[in-house]
A and B are shown apart, each in its own frame.
Chain A
Amino acid sequence: MGLLLLLHAFVAVCVLAYRRSIGRAAWLVVLVGPLAALLWAAFRAPSILGGETYVESIDWVPSLDLSLMFRVDGYALLFLFVIATAAIPIFLFSRKYFSSDARVANFAGTMVLFGGSMIGLVTSDHLLSVFVFWELTTITSYLLIGFDDHKASARSAALHAAIVTGAGGLAMLGGFVLLAEVSGSYLISEIVAAPPEASTPVTVAWVLILVGAATKSAQVPFHAWLPGAMAAPTPASAFLHSATMVKAGIFLVGRLAPAAVASTGWWQPTIITIGFATMALGGWRALRQYDLKLLLAYGTVSQLGFMFLLTGAGTPELLFGGLALLAAHALFKAALFLLVGAIDHEAKTRDIRRLSGLRTSMPGVFWTGVAAALSMAAVPLTIGFAAKEAAFDALVGYSSAAILIAALASVLTVAYTGRFLTGAFGSHDPGQEPAGSSAATPRNWLLWAPLSLTAVAGILGVFPGLLFPFVDTAVETVTGVAKAGKLVLWPGWVPALAWSTASLGLGMLLSWRPTALGAATDALGRVTSRLPTAEGTFRKGIPALLTFADRSSGLIQNGSLPAYLATILLVAVIGPSVAIAADVPPITRPTSGTILEWTLGILIVGFAVSLVFVRRRFAVVILLGGVGFGIAGLYAVLGGPDLSLTQLLVETLVVALFAFVLRHLPAVFARPATARAPRLVVASLVGLFVFVGGLIANSTRSGSAVSETYLREAQPEAAGSNVVNVILVDFRAFDTLGELTVLVAATLGAAGLIVPILRGRRAAR
């Protein structure tokens, strides 16, 4: 599994590295990724369907208990198949959809990176690696939506999607950490096996995780980014925003729902409310679109809502219906997106008011579209029907209110499917200018990919038993219940059939009378247009946030060095002082020193005090040097010849280097612009704090001094009797290495800054 992900990354890097020369052939190269994934899944499928779990663990930071844990069970396998099956035709479609230039290779590389991230996401068992892959899909999605980066609309749509899903991802990370801390494990398998008891942190954790899942799967009220994401080129919309990425939230709630239901009381009703709200809103908005792609996007929102509540509710029967629907949806919705891409490519428009006569000019597209759309509307003999029957069957058993709402929302699904078909392929009023009628029949390549997806859907529709073992094993690995539902060609005379027939009939009736439907939606639309929309709220919210950020950073980063210094110093002084004041420890009086120590001490204090009154720069440097030499003397007296030696040498060098610098500065300090009193207060506080803090630190030792260990271990451990040196080069060698690096960087930086100034390059240019 690790190798499979590496392969994706490698392929992407290859394509990106040779993007100038590779052109459209990039799509054939990146095809390696999903092909390998499909082979892997097919190779492992028999054993995983047999109930085994493929586990792979790669140690990452063992000391932090971080590892890449991959766990492919039936549930992950289903998603793996969905990802790979959707990717292959979409990549092949893209090869012909784009013209050949270097940016296409960028696009292809990002697509395969996304595919790899998605595979990592569904196979990870460690919550943190789930989060990492989750964010990788957010980033790649941002790049893909914003592919037409010369268009402001594409950029803002990409940003919208990234902000919403990124914020959701952060919320989810918080939820993950809380959940893991409470339950004591970061592994999903262990959390699900032993869900944490209900408590406030657990509730917060589940809320945050739900927010993350809902943003990613475009649930109300976060759904608005998904229609916006239609600014992406069609292959990205088909792959990310219908087949895979938006299913990540569904994946997550499905995986965690049993644990969430076990440790909260509100999870199930909440998720069902969100799901139905999304389903109804998406279906309603789809009915009012003129852009075919937006119509499909809102349809996706609607379907996602349905899947969200089915998989997230945590009962085996609903989960079964949800997963069946998910597999079916990935097939027919990706196919429909690609068909819209083909129409757009040939007719140069996706507006149903301008498209006309495509039924005769593009018969292949028409028939494929009809087949896929019938699956979307869940007409019998399609996989959509079999899946929806399973879902309805479960809902009938769940509650009568649920099935009623689901059936009503499905009426909308059927109605917007009708709108899609009549809009894309019907003939329109002769007064309007038809755009599509002149389009040439698309060449086979544009049809090949959606046709193959539809064909797979068709085969599964006639033989739904082929899909059954995958869905069944997935449900069983999550909930432990086998045969929670059934996928059949004809369900028999069950209540669910009545519901679905009713919604199908009502929906078809609505599509049959488009004018009546149009009048009704318009009337309702006039009312609802006054309500705040998610898009509008987002668009108003962002400038407000930016203004806030602008003002707050203007306040904090005001550019005044005295203010910065005062802030830093005061925080450093006040924080510990408050803690000390709460519990003043007894202060032991230090031992009185020898005459020599007293002399050196007075000397140092004298140098330091006179520093304050001196105004000539060079005198300041000399006095500072005096302080340093005095301290070196103290080291020597107290028995630290090494420290003393080093201090002496450093002071000598520093005074000399100061002398170099001072040649270029005025001889006397300028009178500072800020008032004297505040600076005096800050300086005195810092001085007092260091003095008292030193006394306290010296008298409240609780553990044994680290120096004792060093003194004891220096000879046996490091074969050296100079402990100072042993500390530098052995015990704390890593610190020394870090300091060396910093020193080198600082020296190079200083040289880079100073030399050009001294050589007067700036003056010359």
Chain B
Amino acid sequence: MMKQRTSPILEAGIVTVSGPLLAFSLYLLLAGHNQPGGGFAGGLVAGTTVLLAWSAGGPQVVRRVLPVRSTVLMGAGLILAVLVGFAAALPGLSFLESGYLELSVPLVGEVKLVSALLFDVGVYLVIVGITLGLIRSLGEERSDPSMETEQ
């Protein structure tokens, strides 16, 4: 997998673009409760970014764009989602029931903080982790059988 021939220009371009793309995915995540988007769509945008990075230069570039392990993302996402579910019990709500706070922040104005957003963050993390994990494992090159015998 080391000898993938890709153009340095493409690589540099994709690395440059990936930052704004990831930011856009976060925007989708945060805006999702009221506008098109959400954790699932946001996660898929981030996943597509990973895919671009892979096509630009394999695992090294992916690591530069998103230096996290897929299992960490998936685990963190699931744990967060479950914790949000149980946190609903604190104010006496049932599992995964959402609550919200209305705050007036200076300069910004009225802001609604919805607990479901945290759950959506969990969704986002899991989706990113899944695409990252799938790309990593499926994208792995078939190793040279002649090398295997030396192992």
Contact = CB atoms under 8 A, between A and B. Distances in A.
Partners in one complex: yes
Interface of A: 641-642, 645-646, 649-650, 652-653, 656-657, 660-661, 664, 718-722, 724-726, 728-730, 733-734, 736-737, 740-741, 743-744, 747-748, 750-751, 754-755, 758-761, 763-764
B81 to A, nearest CB: 5
B38 A750 contact: no
Given A653-B131, A728-B40, A720 B126 contact: no
Given A642-B37, A734-B95, A657 B138 contact: yes
Contact of A755 (B122, B130, B137): B137
A363 B35 CA distance: 92
Contact of B119 (A652, A733, A743, A759): A733
- With a 10 A CB-CB cut-off, give which of A649, A718, A721, A754 has the most chain B CB atoms: A649
A744 B138 contact: no
B51 interface: yes
Interface in B2-50: 32-41, 44-45, 47-48
Interface string B103-130: 0000000001010110110110011011
A764 B32 contact: no
Contacts of B40: 646, 728
A730 B98 contact: yes
B29 to A, nearest CB: 10
Nearest to B151: A764
Contacts of A729: 33, 38-39, 98, 116-117, 119-120, 123
Contact of B96 (A653, A664, A737, A758): A737
Given A720-B33, A725-B38, A730-B98, A760 B139 contact: no
A758 B143 CA distance: 6
B141 A740 contact: no
B37 A725 contact: yes
Contact of A652 (B48, B117, B145, B149): B48
B57 interface: no
A412 B111 CA distance: 89
7 contacts: A650-B44, A719-B112, A720-B116, A736-B119, A754-B140, A761-B148, A763-B145
B126 A754 contact: no
Q: Which 8 A-B pairs have the closest CB atoms?
A: A649-B44, A720-B33, A725-B38, A751-B137, A660-B138, A764-B148, A729-B116, A733-B96
A744 B38 contact: no
Given A718-B114, A724-B38, A758-B141, A740 B44 contact: no
Contact of B133 (A730, A737, A748): A748
A590 to B, nearest CB: 26
Contact of B77 (A724, A740, A751): A740
Nearest to B149: A764
Nearest to A715: B34
Given A729-B116, A754-B138, A744 B129 contact: yes
Interface of B: 32-41, 44-45, 47-48, 51, 55, 70-71, 74, 77-78, 81-82, 85, 95-96, 98, 100, 112, 114, 116-117, 119-120, 122-123, 126-127, 129-131, 133-145, 148-149, 151
B33 A726 contact: yes
Given A729-B120, A736-B123, A755 B140 contact: yes
A649 to B, nearest CB: 4
Contact of A741 (B78, B112, B142, B151): B78
A496 to B, nearest CB: 63
A721 B120 contact: no
A646 B45 CA distance: 9
A720 to B, nearest CB: 4
B44 A750 contact: no
A653 B44 contact: yes
Given A653-B47, A733-B98, A750 B134 contact: yes
Contacts of B151: 764
Given A721-B34, A734-B95, A740 B78 contact: yes
B96 A734 contact: yes
B146 to A, nearest CB: 10
A645 B116 contact: no
B34 A758 contact: no
Given A750-B134, A764-B149, 13 more contacts: A642-B37, A653-B44, A657-B138, A721-B35, A722-B34, A725-B38, A729-B120, A740-B81, A743-B126, A743-B130, A754-B137, A759-B143, A760-B144
Given A653-B131, A747-B130, A754-B138, A645 B114 contact: no
B78 A744 contact: yes
B133 A642 contact: no
Contact of A660 (B35, B48, B77, B139): B139
Contacts of A726: 33, 116
A737 B55 CA distance: 31
Contact of A744 (B35, B44, B119, B126): B126
Nearest to B102: A719
A751 B40 CA distance: 21
A646 B37 CA distance: 8
A554 B39 CA distance: 46
Contact of B45 (A649, A743, A754, A763): A649
B36 A641 contact: yes
Contacts of A657: 134-135, 138
A660 B36 CA distance: 30
A744 B40 CA distance: 14
Given A718-B116, A744-B126, A661 B100 contact: no
Contacts of B71: 748
Nearest to B122: A740
A440 B43 CA distance: 80
A720 B34 contact: yes
A750 B71 CA distance: 13
Contacts of B119: 729, 733, 736
B49 to A, nearest CB: 11
Given A718-B114, A719-B112, A760 B143 contact: yes
With most chain B CB atoms within 10 A of its CB, the pick from A718, A721, A734, A763 is A718
Contacts of A755: 137, 140
A763 B35 contact: no
A435 B45 CA distance: 85
B55 to A, nearest CB: 8
A763 B129 CA distance: 29
B137 A733 contact: no
Nearest to B117: A729
B137 to A, nearest CB: 4
A744 B130 contact: yes
B51 A656 contact: yes
A430 to B, nearest CB: 77
Given A720-B116, A733-B85, A758 B38 contact: no
A724 B31 CA distance: 13
A737 B41 CA distance: 16
B140 A737 contact: no
A741 B129 CA distance: 12
A10 B61 CA distance: 54
